[in-house]
């Protein structure tokens, strides 16, 4: 019988089991992490580069070279490489040399052996979103058609595939910025016109320039404090006018530098990247659409009580409604505003004044 006290009799066994359990958990965790990070998967190195730029226009050649150089800075080490919707590797190195964008990729062996060589062979597509909320930069491999590469001789003769840069995405970003610059200015002018037209309506109310037969309604208008309500609406429209003016001024500066759009968009770098990833821009536009919709509802509620001004109020409301429709239809702003069903919201049209009451004989 052991000489140890009873309470310490199983101490060694408990400690040993705890240590073995901890080691087992660590090994399982290491295996799981390694599987996710592809530590235990065979890899092949793949080289990719863009074609030689040969434009007749020297300015176009210069712009393409600048684009490739800055795109290489966006493709950082660790950028995922995908094949058939699955991540199969990552970027080891990105550089711009000899007027070409060059990438060193590390991909799974199974993915590597799925690539084909030849005129219709494998190629690498660089996917750069025009804004951070649209996803991350990645390399998309297309296997192509043809014969399999000789991977066994890849150390002596590295396997290389062409790169297709994301020129379409960049041109789209440029078009969006130019569209913003061309639309926000007229929108600001329209809202400023609404302010002036609303002020004219208020002056007409205060001057009591209503038909004589509507004299009995003037007291009711004063009781409802319609002029004060319209004053509050004017203040809101003026505030929106200032906001749109600031956005339009920023947009003008962006359009002037649109040629500087590059792969840095994904990181929010440069003028264009900051504009497209600016949360304040989205907040301002959402508030603008919301306020315009609220003004439409308020004015439609108040306008029928003003017989002599109902025609002008109806025209004003239709103009506000067109601005709201324009905001909801702009594809960039649809990320920040509620587009609804996408159907055009038809305004009720000009509000006709009530018929005059005929005097009884």
Q: What is the pLDDT of residues 240-277, one digit of tens each?
A: 666 655 655 555 555 444 444 444 444 555 544 555 55
Sign of the dihedral through C-alpha 322, 324, 329, 330 = positive
Q: Give which of 352, 349, 347, 329 is closest to 339, Cα–Cα.
A: 329
Q: At what angle do helices 167-206 and 310-329 cross, to 10 degrees?
A: 170
Distance CA 43, CA 89 (A): 8
Residue that wins the pLDDT comparison between 195 and 97: 97
Predicted local distance difference test score (pLDDT) of residue 69:
80
Q: What is the largest CA-CA distance in the chain?
A: 130
Across residues 233-239, what is the average pLDDT? Answer: 62
Residue 79 DSSP symbol: -
What is the pLDDT at residue 74?
Answer: 78
- Cβ–Cβ < 8 Å for 141, 80: no
Lowest-confidence pick of 59-63, 209-213, 289-293, 348-352: 348-352
Residues constituting the chain = 361
Strand, helix or coil for residue 334: helix
Q: Where are the alpha helices (DSSP H) in the chain?
A: 11-36, 58-74, 109-112, 167-206, 215-224, 226-256, 270-276, 279-302, 310-329
Of 42-56, 206-220, 295-309, least confident by mean pLDDT is 206-220
CB-neighbour burial class of residue 46 (10 A; exposed 0-12, middle 13-18, buried 19+): buried
Residue 32 confidence (pLDDT) above 50 = yes
Task: Compute the average pLDDT of residues 60-89.
Answer: 81
C-alpha span between 307 and 108 (Å, rounded): 77
Q: Is the pTM of this model over 0.75?
A: no
Predicted confidence at residue 124, as pLDDT, reads 84
* Torsion 242-347-299-200 (CA) sign: positive
The answer to whether 149 and 177 have CB atoms below 8 angstroms apart is no
% residues pLDDT > 90 (the chain): 0
Round the average pLDDT of the chain to a whole number and report it. Answer: 65
Question: What is the dihedral angle through the alpha carbons of 297, 298, 303, 304, rounded to the nearest 10 degrees?
Answer: 70
For the cut 50, the answer to whether the pLDDT of residue 278 exceeds it is yes
Helix 226-256 to helix 167-206 angle (10° resolution) is 150
Write down the H helix ranges in 90-166: 109-112
- Contact between residue 91 and residue 104 where contact means Cβ atoms under 8 Å apart: yes
The pLDDT value given to residue 96 = 85
Q: Left, alpha or beta for 99 (phi > 0: left; psi -120 to 50: alpha)?
A: left
114 token code pair: 């799925």
All residues at 6 or more sequence positions from 44 whose CB lies less than 8 Å from its CB, including other chains:
106, 107, 108, 109, 112, 151, 154, 159
Token look-up 């005129």 returns 119
Q: Which of 9-13, 274-278, 279-283 has the highest mean pLDDT?
A: 9-13
- Sequence-separated (6 or more) residues with CB below 8 Å from residue 16: none
Model confidence at 348, pLDDT cuts 50, 70, 90, reads very low
pLDDT band of residue 353 (cuts 50, 70, 90) is very low
Is 300's pLDDT higher than 80?
no
Pairing mode of beta strands 160-164, 123-127: parallel
pLDDT surpassing 60 at residue 357: no
**pLDDT mean over 144-169:** 69
Which of the pair, 260 or 29, is modelled with greater confidence? 29
CB contact at 8 A, 195 and 241: yes
pLDDT of residue 204: 62
Residue 57: strand, helix, or coil:
coil
Residue among 281, 258, 276 at smallest CA distance from 266: 276
pLDDT at 159 over 60: yes
């Amino acid at each position: 019988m052991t000489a140890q006290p009873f309470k310490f009799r199983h101490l060694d066994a408990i400690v040993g089991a705890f240590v073995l359990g901890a080691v087992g958990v660590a090994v399982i965790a290491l295996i799981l992490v390694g599987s996710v990070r592809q530590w235990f998967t065979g890899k092949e190195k793949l080289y990719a580069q863009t074609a030689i730029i040969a434009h007749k226009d020297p300015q176009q050649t210069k712009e393409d070279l600048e684009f490739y150089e800055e795109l290489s800075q966006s493709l950082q080490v660790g950028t995922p490489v995908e094949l058939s919707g699955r991540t199969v590797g990552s970027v080891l190195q990105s550089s711009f040399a000899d007027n070409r964008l060059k990438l060193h990729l590390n991909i799974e062996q199974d993915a590597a052996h799925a690539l084909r060589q030849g005129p219709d062979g494998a190629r690498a597509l660089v996917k750069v979103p025009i804004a951070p909320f649209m996803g991350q930069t990645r390399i998309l491999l297309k296997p192509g058609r043809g014969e399999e590469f000789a991977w066994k001789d890849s150390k002596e003769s590295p396997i290389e595939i062409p790169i297709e840069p994301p020129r379409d995405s960049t041109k789209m970003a440029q078009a969006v910025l130019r569209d913003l610059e061309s639309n926000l200015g007229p929108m600001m002018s329209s809202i400023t016109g609404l302010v002036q037209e609303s002020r004219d309506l208020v002056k007409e109310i205060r001057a009591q320039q209503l038909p004589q037969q509507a004299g009995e309604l003037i007291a009711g208008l004063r009781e409802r404090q319609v002029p004060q309500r319209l004053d509050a609406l004017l203040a809101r429209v003026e505030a929106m006018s200032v906001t749109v003016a600031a956005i339009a001024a920023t947009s003008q500066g962006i359009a002037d530098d649109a040629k500087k759009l590059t792969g840095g968009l994904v990181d929010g770098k440069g003028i264009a990247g900051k504009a497209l990833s600016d949360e304040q821009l989205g907040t301002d536009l959402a508030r603008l659409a919301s306020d315009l919709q609220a003004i439409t509802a308020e004015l439609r509620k108040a306008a029928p009580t003003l017989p002599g001004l109902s025609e002008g109020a109806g025209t004003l409301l239709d103009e506000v409604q067109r601005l709201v429709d324009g905001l909801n239809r702009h594809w960039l702003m649809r990320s920040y505003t509620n587009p609804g069903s996408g159907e055009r919201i038809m305004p009720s049209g000009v509000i006709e004044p009530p018929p005059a009451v005929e005097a009884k004989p």
